[in-house]
Structure 1
Amino acid sequence: MLFYKQVPESPIRGSTVTLECRYDLEGDRLYSVKWYKDGVEFLRYMPHDRPKIKAFNIKGLKVDVIRSTNTTVVLDNVQHSASGIYKCKVLADAPTLDEDADEKKLVVTETPLSMDQPPIGILGGSVRLNCAHNLGSLPLYSFKWLKDDKVFYTFIPRNRPPGEMYSVQGVTVDVSPLLREAYLSSSVCQTQMLQGNYSSLFLKNLSALSAGAYRCEASSDAPPFLTVQDEKMLAVFEQRDMRPHITYDRETYQVGDNVLLNCTSSRSRPAPKLAVYVNDRLLIDADVRTKVDTHPDGFQTTTLAATIPVRQHDVSRAALRVKCQASFVGLYEAVGEMSIPVGQHTGDHRAPYQHQRPQHSQPPQRPPHLGSISSTQDECLTKAMKILARAWVAYQ
């Protein structure tokens, strides 16, 4: 009996896998073909039965019976649980023809593509999009960059030229940071640069329209014809200070009064979600009114209005502690805090004390990641902010 079996060694999670078991019975009739995973039968082909193919439930395997045959088994949407030792067994009508193929190991791996970019950018600044990918021995068919599902750059090795740019609103690709020589600025040189660095791009002149979902996508040019992709959100802010601004209607309050409080976010795209806390107690939606305004330049602001009753048990050290938190699509949090005076007069009813902090569930965001430094003044301001931040940590 001539025997041949093929099992992909490292399929990608979520892909479709085809297992092959080819044989030559040398004139004898086929009785059955059986497939095993880790010693447990999961598919049987018997040409004299109806139906010919029968699949057995094994956790982690999704067999496509319709596309499977006497020589192939198709597994859909493979997950890590599909990893294991696979074997096929062929039996002919002649009792002497009963043969097992060698066992083959299959290990499901993660997608060979990962996109990296800062989650936020500053108006007029720049961000770098980087998409590391490794298709192994599979040749690259195409690579694409998209914003909100609109293609703005493609790279197809077989084309001449292989790279091509497309106009998408809010997207301006800056090729100069990747050029080895600063004076190379002709369109020809820029095209050549993009061909060699298609998986790493700089976006410059960020505006509100630059915000959105950015995606990189790589496709292979050989079976199993994989397409892998990753997507990240980019939010754009008008300025680095992203703390919401808090105001209230009077200079001082007494127990039993109501505080008419407004919290307004900084200008950004998209608009953040606002939440107000009184002594770390979240005000529920029934207690607040929220609206989002879109400005002519595309930036947005969120305004939250709340009526807060002053209760004795909420007052500590003659003040009501209020916090307004702005959450930007799960990417970043900016917090403004203040103590509203109760039972005493003050000349300023704005926040005497505010601070900003990154969301705990996300990696710390550092000012250099928010955009490029456009002037010496900005650089000095950034250094000053770092010094103040260290001083504040030491103070706490």
Structure 2
Amino acid sequence: MASGIMLSLALCLGLFTLRGRCLRMSGVSVPSVAVSGTEVKFTCNYETSPAHNDTLYSLKWYRGLEQFYEYMPRKDPPMKVYQTDHVHVDKSQSDATSVVLKDITRQTSGSFRCEVMGDKPLFETDDYWKNMTVVGAAQLCHYNLSSRRSVDSPSRRERADWCGLALCVSSEMNCCRDGEMRKSQSDATSVVLKDITRQTSGSFRCEVMGDKPLFETDDYWKNMTVVDIPTWGPRITTRPRGSKVGVHDIIHARCEVGASDPPTEISWRINRLPPPPYAQVETYRNQKRVHVSELQVQVTEDSFFKGEMVVTCRAKLLTAFDRSANVTFVDVNSPEPAGYGWLSAGSSTRASLLLVGVTVASLGMGV
């Protein structure tokens, strides 16, 4: 009997030298973010060696410093739950590797630690911890985001926090509320959402975990903003209505863009430059939720470029909408353009050559 124990001890010490410990943990599966009112499953990933009497003596779960769960196979019953505020264990779904919490709330958030202990003679102990934050249901997921790395096995619990500030740890869980997931277009690398709304906006993170024995984890996040773009515009109306203006004239320009959410940004340019400091600009939204911007500027000699003053209104909504409209004023004192004739300054080369061709043809016909 003593020789058997010594042999087990020697084997265990050999494994300790090669692998680090007889009882070894590779990590814990704890969702970083969960939704209030749902249930979550914590899993302790560890390895034992029954062939060398390296079996589980106990498994314990803590939130912070408070123990709330214990599993000891040698006891009857093996499971014990300790009363802890805002932590409610579902015994029917908990066992020697996992514990399920039900009816979680925002107060359930915290640092969760799993501690495992091997059996005699060494009673080797190892632990691992991870944070979990519980959020309200208003912060649920809607996005179309591809992960940087594919999940090893789509059929298993994928460990993918695919809901931005919500939890979606398995393909069976539907965590989308304001939009629906297109399952037919979703796979192990991408998820497609339909019927998204403004409330879909948020920070979205994809987390992937490799399979055993290392269970390496990586994640990446990005922000997405859903907008309602204008259905028309921009439109410009001006006073005076004529196309000719002179120095000291006052130009009134009004630019309108259809309703949008968030509001569309309207900016002005005169000959591709910002309006001068003395120009007056007023931007507002009228009772019909139309975005309006009014520009008032006095014409000076510097307002013209090659005898023209081009006033441009640009309407921009993030990267989803970007359109411009412009109106051109001509200096009333500019000389009248030269008459259109053969290769005249006021005619195009193509038109002049066409006229030359027609004249030559007419002369050939004796007209």
Give the alignment's TM-score, normalised by structure 2: 0.41
Structure having greater relative contact order (Cα 8 Å, sep ≥ 6): 1
**Which structure is larger by alpha-carbon Rg, 1 or 2?**
2
Higher normalized strand content (fraction of residues):
1
